[in-house]
A and B are shown apart, each in its own frame.
Chain A
Amino acid sequence: MSPEFSEKTRKKIDEIVARYPQKQAAILPLLHIAQQEFGCISPDSEKRIADILGVKPIRVREVLTFYTMLNREPVGKYHIQVCSNLSCSLLGAEKLIDYLKEKLGIEPGQTTKDGKFTLSLVECLGACEQAPCIMVNFDYFGNLDKKKIDKILDGLK
């Protein structure tokens, strides 16, 4: 079994569950918490969430597999998500993606051997005025070119 939620997290979970008239509504918030705490969501975490909420584990699996931001496999310390939608494509997202592939030596969907970076292509991030843009973990970076990518990656230790 993977580790249990910490005591602090358990308290937070209780608070969250109390926000909804039906416990099942807390599945998504709890999946976010599990991912935050353990990096990705293991079958053990799914089971724990199901137990806490008193729902069948399949209910949790159904939700988990629907949403692209939830990871069932570990990702790197820095998850680089590149917008490949229209506004970003118009302003050179493709070149940026090629540059990142070359620089990190991985294809989208892969993680570097040292576990530091995962590269993903995503749809619109809602920052089209800063196209082309990327999200690293939860931080947005926009108006990017190769030089700025270099600077961002150098800053990620």
Chain B
Amino acid sequence: MKEKILSQHFGLKNFYQIDEYLKEGGYRAVQKSLQMKPDEILEEVKKANLRGRGGAGFPAGIKWGFVPKVDKPKYLCVNADEGEPGTFKDRYLMSHNPHLLLEGIIIASFCVGIHSAYIYIRGEYEAIALRLEGAIAEAQEKGFLGKNILKSGFDLDVIVHRGAGAYICGEETALLESLEGKRGNPRLKPPFPASVGLFNCPTVINNVETVSNIPLIILNGADWFVRKGLPKDGGTRIFGVSGMVEKPGIYELPIGTSLKDIIFKHAGGMKKGKKLKAVIPGGMSAPVLKADEIDIKMDFESLVEAGSMLGSAAIIVIDTGTSMLDVLKAVTKFYSHESCGQCTPCRIGTSWIDKIVRRMAEGKGSKKDIDNILRLASNILGKTLCPLGDAAAMPIMSITKKFRKELESRL
């Protein structure tokens, strides 16, 4: 498919190795960038309307622009924690195209004036972490990393830092705490990481897919990038489709592709004999859509209008044979397990709801349960330091409201 930009070389033999990558024009973006002024790079990235691919969708160029010009070390943290259930796109990007990510890291660092970058990768991705370390060593050997990169006078070291199994560390300030050698408890904002981040220094935190888009923007220009997607939301997205479809997997498509088409044209439709019941469109945190709500464009604004969110663009497809109580159970089990415990509404709320839902699943539910779930969830929503509380409350409330009748039938 001609729309592919990030994944166009997936499947090429040994593409993860630098020699193959160079054959396909690799590291041209770095060469071009090092001859540009940092401000020119920043302008181009801003113009491209590259929005964060991790979940929140914050424009990358604006984020970089927030970094103050102070005489302090600055850091880049690449968020490769990829813990949002349903999401697996960054795993593909890092394993098939690690040098594209490194190019993005070099360009972002050069633009912002950063000399140390950390890739924070979830601990389970050990094989990918090793691949990244291999790619870093190759890039160093060819003079793309380390001291005086391509004789430009610019220095950069990239370090792979492994997490150890905590969803919360994908939240940017928890990630910083974790990287500093602490428990992954999110920080109070402000100050925002751009001014006070890693080791109390200005820090840029971007998702793997976000950073991987940077070299393509530099090579092809912001206008080209915007044309690949939507005016306010440039480029493609790597949609991860899982659940009851014929062909689960990743699909790189223009931002704004219809959800219905992604499921029924690209992912092969429902598994044989299965009928669509509901879709979670942006990772588990996203409010659920019913089968008749999926004729919708997959971009940030369209999904917000539909009462959900694009998040990490991870699509989980649920069939009519699946009980929504089981779905709710998986959701509440996850968030009660992953709540860091710092904020009372989230710590108590998620485990309380989880207990109610488990009781309902055992056939011991009572009439008040549904309203109690909604009351507890609404007491989490907007009342926590970090977005995990909302991420838990939103799917719980949407499942409970949209499938209330079905849940009541299980009481």
Contact digits for A19-58, partner B, Cβ 8 Å, 1 yes 0 no: 1011011111101100000000000000000000101000
Residues of B contacting A102 with CB < 8 Å? Answer: none
Q: B242, A67: Cβ atoms under 8 Å?
A: no
Whether the pair A67, B166 counts as a contact (CB closer than 8 A) is: yes
Which residues of B from 362 to 389 have beta carbons under 8 Å from A?
none
| Contact A69 B318, beta carbon cutoff 8 Å | no
CB-CB under 8 A from A129, the residues of chain B are 88, 240-242, 248-250
Stretch in A1-9, A81-89, A149-157 with 4+ CB within 8 Å of B: A81-89
The smallest C-beta distance from B361 to any residue of chain A, in angstroms, reads 11
In contact, A126 and B91 (Cβ under 8 angstroms): yes
Q: Contacts A124-B334, A128-B85, A128-B86: A87 and B242 contacting too (C-beta < 8 A)?
A: yes
When distances are taken between beta carbons in the complex, the residues of chain A under 8 Å from B157 are 19
CB interface residues, A 103-139, toward B, < 8 Å: 122-131, 135, 138-139
Q: Can you list, as one digit per residue, whether each of B118-143 has a CB less than 8 Å from chain A (1) or not (0)? A: 00001111110000000000000000
A67 vs B248: C-alpha distance when bound (angstroms): 30
- Interface SS of B by simple majority: mixed
Tally of contact residues, B, Cβ under 8 A: 57
CB contacts under 8 Å to B, within A69-108, are 69-70, 84-87, 89-91
User: Taking each of A28, A85, A138, which has the highest tally of chain B beta carbons within 10 Å of its own beta carbon?
Assistant: A28
CB-CB under 8 A from B53, the residues of chain A are none
- In the assembled complex, the Cα of A123 lies from the Cα of B81 at a distance in Å of 13
Q: Closest CB-CB distance, B392 to chain A, in whole Å?
A: 13
Q: Are A66 and B166 in contact (CB under 8 A)?
A: yes
- The verdict on A123 contacting B242 (CB below 8 Å), with A59-B181, A69-B164 known, is no
- A interface list, Cβ under 8 A from B: 19, 21-22, 24-29, 31-32, 53, 55, 59, 62-63, 66-70, 84-87, 89-91, 122-131, 135, 138-140
List 5 A-B residue pairs with CB atoms under 8 Å apart, sorted by A's residue number.
Answer: A67-B184, A90-B316, A124-B284, A128-B242, A140-B127
15 new A-B contacts at CB < 8 Å, known A19-B157, A87-B85, A131-B248: A24-B181, A25-B180, A28-B181, A29-B161, A59-B182, A67-B123, A84-B333, A85-B334, A86-B86, A86-B284, A87-B242, A90-B318, A126-B91, A127-B88, A129-B88
